[in-house]
A and B are shown apart, each in its own frame.
Chain A
Amino acid sequence: MSLVLEGFLNTVALTLLSFAGALLVGLLVAVLRVVPVPLLRGVGAVYVEVWRNIPLLAWLVLFVFGLPEVGVKMPLFWTAFTAIALYEAAFVAEALRSGVNSVASGQGEAARALGLSFRQSLRHVILPQASKRVVQPLANIAIALTMATALAGVVGVVDMTRAAQRINLELAQPLLVFTGVGLCYLVMAAGIGFGARVLERRLA
């Protein structure tokens, strides 16, 4: 039973922490992709393409087994966290960018016509309108991230899916164990969806 709890807590912790990390890095990358400096836009684009076109499992394997060989030693949980956060950051960056792009271009032009600077028009005109449009895409990313944390189990983190598989070996109650774990994921996703709806209403 303690294994179940450990797995559940690890999944929740990994989800929350990596989503926070992904938001932070994703915001940075999204900013890189819209600044007026061509070189930085290129850096942002390369980041997004490289991270999201390689499977997360390949990243996890590379990080967990590869980093120690180049002398970067971290606890397993934090290595998995780093890989997941950096991977999902690419998707967050794309969601944020398309949110910003979805604001009608006339809005930005109007702001500039009024003499607002780049930063002012972003702060007072673009971002307030973009923010409510990115809530739903970000919630979808959060749900995908919850599922993605299961892959950390493959490289050794005892997450919920991994725990289910181990318990099943001992208990031989497959239906019960796997249905239970599936329900846990459903509940987490429902929680994220609910949070997103509340947030969306606040911003509207």
Chain B
Amino acid sequence: MFDAPGPRSRRRIFWVSAVSVLVLAGLVALGLRQFAAGGQLDADRWRPYLTWPVWRYLLGGLWSTVVAACATGVLAMAGGLLLALRPNRFTRAYAEVMRTVPVLLLVYVMLFVLPSFGVNLPLFWKLVVPLALSHAASYAVIFRAGVSAVDPGQREAGLSLGMPDGVVTRFVVLPQAVRHMTPLLVTQAASLLKDTSLGYVVSYTELLFNGRVLANYNGLLIQTFIVVAFVYLVVNLALSRLAHRLEAARARTAR
């Protein structure tokens, strides 16, 4: 978008950088002062987060988050595969509905509607089932894109070698499609992990809900949720780094 900077633009870049450092430092100082005024920066309020019991509790929440995300992922991928393999009016309508209706509404249906029809699932499934229903549509999109990214010549070549259709799909198209979609699958996993924070609503003891319990217990609301947010950030950053790596690896081998 721009040429390598010459001496004049280098000078300008220097000054813009200097000014923005000052502005940023000012903003940070303002924020810190606001926090300090409320006593939120006192060491006493942060010390609990250096102790193991608190972390054990939060990491226990993270573990439940991961378990819920994995269960959702497996169910949603199975659903997505079904949706992707059978494109018809029903599956298209399903995908359209799931793209527009909030997961929270589905969660409420699980919590308040189905019990009155005698369907009362355990808490874990009250979180996982709505998430899986909604994410199945996203997985279907990823799968379809992955399959259509494979050069049609590959399928034709397989067929012309006399392989049956199923064999071509299984051994020629899908292995290549999987390579195309792994980065997207990892990105989707991050979004899934974020959505399990709805456990806060269904009282499933995942990371965010545990944060709420902890904050109610020790009264350190801001500190607790900042730490919880930080844990989410670290996990999801690791996932997106992984997606990046896979993408780079794919770009290197796909030729």
Interchain CB contact (< 8 A) of A62 among B3, B35, B222: B222
Q: Does A72 contact B (CB under 8 A)?
A: yes
Chain A's closest residue to B16 (CB) is: A37
Q: Does A114 contact B (CB under 8 A)?
A: no
Chain B's closest residue to A147 (CB) is: B102
Q: Does B232 contact A (CB under 8 A)?
A: yes
Chain A's closest residue to B134 (CB) is: A147
Chain B positions 228-251 with a Cβ under 8 Å from a chain A Cβ: 228-229, 232-233, 236-237, 240
- Is B200 a contact of A118 with CB atoms below 8 Å? no
Residues on A with beta carbons closer than 8 Å to the beta carbon of B197: 55, 57-58
Residues on A with beta carbons closer than 8 Å to the beta carbon of B37: 70-71
Distance in angstroms between the alpha carbons of A55 and B233 in the assembled complex: 9
Which of A22-30, A160-168, A196-204 has 4 or more CB atoms under 8 Å from chain B?
A: A160-168
Distance in angstroms between the alpha carbons of A167 and B151 in the assembled complex: 52
Chain A at the B interface: SS class: helix
- Is B100 a contact of A53 with CB atoms below 8 Å? no
Interface residues on chain A, number (Cβ under 8 Å): 56
- Is A58 a contact of B229 with CB atoms below 8 Å? yes
Interchain CB contact (< 8 A) of B5 among A36, A188, A190: A36
Q: Does A65 contact B (CB under 8 A)?
A: yes
- Is A55 a contact of B100 with CB atoms below 8 Å? no
Interchain CB contact (< 8 A) of B104 among A34, A143, A151, A175: A151
Q: Does B157 contact A (CB under 8 A)?
A: no
B25 vs chain A, min Cβ distance (A)? 12
Distance in angstroms between the alpha carbons of A100 and B2 in the assembled complex: 13
Most buried by B among A70, A168, A175: A70
- Is A66 a contact of B17 with CB atoms below 8 Å? no
- Is B232 a contact of A172 with CB atoms below 8 Å? no
Q: Does A6 contact B (CB under 8 A)?
A: no
Distance in angstroms between the alpha carbons of A169 and B112 in the assembled complex: 8
Task: Knowing A61-B200, A165-B112 are in contact, say whether A72-B34 is a contact too (CB < 8 A).
Answer: yes
Distance in angstroms between the alpha carbons of A100 and B13 in the assembled complex: 22
Interchain CB contact (< 8 A) of A53 among B17, B208, B211, B232: B232
Residues on B with beta carbons closer than 8 Å to the beta carbon of A175: 113
Q: Does A50 contact B (CB under 8 A)?
A: yes
Distance in angstroms between the alpha carbons of A100 and B116 in the assembled complex: 51
- Is B229 a contact of A164 with CB atoms below 8 Å? no
Residues on A with beta carbons closer than 8 Å to the beta carbon of B144: none
Interchain CB contact (< 8 A) of A185 among B3, B100, B190, B222: B100
- Is A165 a contact of B240 with CB atoms below 8 Å? no
A52 vs chain B, min Cβ distance (A)? 8
Q: Does A154 contact B (CB under 8 A)?
A: yes
Distance in angstroms between the alpha carbons of A112 and B200 in the assembled complex: 53
Q: List 10 A-B contacts (CB under 8 A).
A: A37-B16, A37-B20, A69-B40, A70-B40, A112-B2, A143-B99, A143-B100, A150-B104, A178-B113, A185-B100
5 residue pairs, one from A and one from B, having the closest CB atoms: A189-B100, A150-B102, A53-B236, A174-B113, A55-B197
